[in-house]
Chains A and B, each alone.
Chain A
Amino acid sequence: MKRSMGVAAWMALVAVIGAVPLLTDDRYLLKVLVFVGINVIIVSGLALLFGYAGQISLGHAAFVGIGAYASAYVTSGLGLPWLVGVLAGTTLAAIGGLLLAMPSLRLRGHYLAMATLGFNEIMYVIFREARAVTGGNDGLSGIPFPEVLGVRMDTPASIYLLVWGTALVVVFLVANIVRGRPGRAMRGLHGSEIGALACGVDVARLKIRTFAVSAGLAGLAGTLYAHAVGFVAPSTFSLEQSVVLLAIVVVGGTGSLAGPVIASIALTLLPYADALIPGLGKDVIAFLQDWEADIYGIAMIVVVVLAPKGIGGLIRAARSRSRAEETG
């Protein structure tokens, strides 16, 4: 009855991810998979905050935006190296999470949702209006490709490997956090804040740190996005995107990391299904893209009604069934 993912499973995952660019040189497919990997990173962080610690955020797209704009500005505006941009974007987003979490400590449920929603709206206005840094509604273009140790990652395959390598590391780290002491404290906090306090959990510090880590991961994803696409504009970081991210975590299930990761892969791929299924008609894709938000909405309703614990809940149920069959 091994609960955590074994070394073999991780190695298989590395092999599958690494094999993709060897099996295909389809630029469109690789680009779509880059978006999927970026969402996996964001959703891992949001699963930590919402799925484990039970703290809602409707502001995560703004953290992605902070990372993206910061890295874009540091590299193309200030001419500093890519890695500096990544660190700046990630750190700035984490600080943003910290600053949002501190005044929100007493807020719960709907009130925390409103506060984070307000944060997203404020950041959205800043992205649009702070033209000197963000380029306003036109956005920033000409963001350089990632470059480490003189190696420029300017092919879809190299960007794919960079993003998915990062995603793999992030999922691994978050998985460790989740099954270690911080994860247990988060699940406790989620279940009963009073109970967590009575166990000696420093609830205020835990909330602030979790917010910062979660926002930092969103920021990291944002930096990857900026350099992968080469262009950032405000609409990518709107409240609507925050809602979509939260919907993915809900579909994935609370108290689970695998569930939200699977949900982020499936739901991000959906509007680009033609990348995987080449024969798919244009009208089908047009339909999927036009109705994307509605499809997410329906997915959420279906999950809430049929499987309230999401994909993660289904995984747990299947596991305990197979365990019961083993022993019984």
Chain B
Amino acid sequence: MSLLKVSHVTKRFGGLTAVDDLSFDVHEGSIKAVIGPNGAGKSTLFNLLTGFDRADSGAATFLGGDLLGRRPDTVVRRGVARTFQNTQLFEELTAHENVLVGVEPSLRAGFVRSALRIGIRAEERDARERADHILRLLDIERWRDVIAADIPHGVRRSVEIARALATGPQVLLLDEPAAGLNGAETQSLAAALYRIRDHGATIVVVEHDMGLVMEVSEEILVLDRGRKIAEGPPLLIQKDVAVIEAYLGEEVEDDDV
């Protein structure tokens, strides 16, 4: 079943069409990869879907409503969470605290109840336990009390995924989660993605690491200059002429985060 349906979405920056009449479906419980050369419009697509940028036209149907044109915090509360190509962690907060802010959408206590500490004990305890649970799910609990600024690069991406997961998303959009990771870290990321999916979240992942893409994704969407040039299972995409040309056109110089 299609959980997220993107129809004819277009985004222009001046004369440049970053996303061009793009349509695709994301099936519930799947892992979908979005690939394409630098500047293909992958991050822009995520920005449009999560309210960080406004589409010029098109629609994105999720749970019977349109996602486009909403505020980022509203999109998250509806069940679509994301990470960023340039991680947006709270540097002064520990990993646990970062994830706790992610629990935000499910909390009720406002200023008054927090100030007077009325009926917030259970809520706070549950939030902390949930944050700890998610740190374990991503296998980063040993960084729990370390502030983000002091956490090594490879782990920071996991902290950001954990924080996004804490919002309780149905769809998780990950923008280059393997960028800057070494081989072992990429392997454990792949395992984490499966665990997250089995946990009930549908995943859309933008990624340049082809090994990871081929391993985890059930379906691949290929973008080039904002347009969809191919879509299908990994084995078919690997052989697709248009895809090979798009990639040969710019040579496989490794991604510069």
- Residues of A whose CB lies within 8 Å of any CB of B are 173-174, 176-177, 180-185, 187-188, 190-192, 194-203, 209, 213, 255
Contacts and interface: CB of A to CB of B under 8 A. Distances in A.
B88 A192 contact: yes
Contacts of B73: 197, 199-203
B88 A195 contact: yes
12 contacts: A176-B114, A177-B114, A180-B115, A187-B92, A188-B101, A192-B91, A194-B88, A195-B84, A198-B83, A199-B73, A200-B73, A201-B101
A199 B114 contact: no
Contacts of A190: 90, 92
Contacts of A188: 90, 93, 98, 101
Interface in B64-110: 71-73, 76-77, 81-84, 88-93, 97-98, 100-102, 104-105, 107, 109-110
Nearest to B101: A188
Given A183-B114, A198-B88, A198-B164, 17 more contacts: A173-B115, A174-B115, A177-B115, A181-B120, A182-B109, A182-B110, A184-B101, A188-B93, A190-B92, A194-B72, A195-B90, A195-B101, A197-B71, A198-B163, A200-B73, A201-B73, A201-B104
Contacts of A196: 90, 101
Interface residues of B, number: 41
Secondary structure at chain A's binding surface: helix, strand, loop or mixed? helix
Given A194-B84, A198-B84, A180 B114 contact: yes
B93 A198 contact: no
Contacts of A202: 71, 73
A269 B149 CA distance: 36
A108 to B, nearest CB: 15
B164 A180 contact: no
Contacts of A191: 89-93, 148
Interface of B: 50-52, 71-73, 76-77, 81-84, 88-93, 97-98, 100-102, 104-105, 107, 109-111, 114-117, 120, 124, 127, 148, 163-164, 166-167
Contacts of A173: 115-116
- 6 shortest A-B CB distances, which residue pairs? A191-B90, A180-B114, A195-B88, A200-B76, A200-B105, A197-B72
A177 B163 CA distance: 22
Contacts of B51: 197
A187 B93 CA distance: 8
Contacts of A197: 51-52, 71-73, 76
Given A177-B111, A180-B109, A192 B50 contact: no
A33 B120 CA distance: 35
B116 A176 contact: yes
A195 B164 CA distance: 10
Given A180-B114, A180-B124, A209-B111, A199 B92 contact: no
A201 B98 CA distance: 13
Contacts of A181: 104, 107, 109-110, 114, 120, 124, 127
B154 to A, nearest CB: 19
A124 B76 CA distance: 43
Given A173-B116, A198-B72, A199-B102, A187 B97 contact: yes
Nearest to B148: A191
Contact of B167 (A184, A185, A199): A199
Nearest to B127: A181
Contacts of A184: 93, 97, 100-101, 104
Contacts of B91: 191-192
A182 B72 contact: no
A197 B50 CA distance: 10
A11 B77 CA distance: 41
Given A177-B115, A180-B114, A181-B109, A198 B76 contact: yes
Nearest to A196: B101
Contacts of B52: 194, 197
A176 B115 CA distance: 5
Given A187-B97, A191-B92, A200 B110 contact: no
A255 B105 CA distance: 23
A186 to B, nearest CB: 10
A280 to B, nearest CB: 40
B66 to A, nearest CB: 19
Contacts of B81: 198
Contact of A182 (B84, B102, B114): B114
A200 B167 CA distance: 7
A206 to B, nearest CB: 10
Given A192-B89, A213-B111, A180 B120 contact: yes
